[in-house]
Amino acid sequence: MKQELKYGWTITSNQAIRAYKDVDGNLAIFTEVKEFGDPMPLLIDLSEDEVKVTAIPHMVMAVYVKLTKEIEIVWNSEYYQTIATEEIYEEE
């Protein structure tokens, strides 16, 4: 999935994302997965010649910024395959 951003930047992701943008080029990026509500967003500030990652959630493996004004986000795939392997609470 590829999205066009302000200042000529583009963003790609290995998971479906929702990118909320303001007029200054700041981004809040969420995945489409909503298992327990919205997780912490990936926060990025954009300018003409700079990308500043201001908050990175634990489920992001990597953020690549290329000289061609491309941002690539790689999400941890294990986060999306969570299942309970043990009971958390047992009645006695």
pLDDT in tens, 46-72: 999 999 999 998 889 999 999 999 999
Confidence of residue 25 (pLDDT cuts 50, 70, 90): confident
pTM of the model: 0.76
Share of the chain above pLDDT 90, in %: 49
Burial class (CB in 10 A: 0-12, 13-18, 19+), 46: buried
Mean pLDDT of the chain: 83
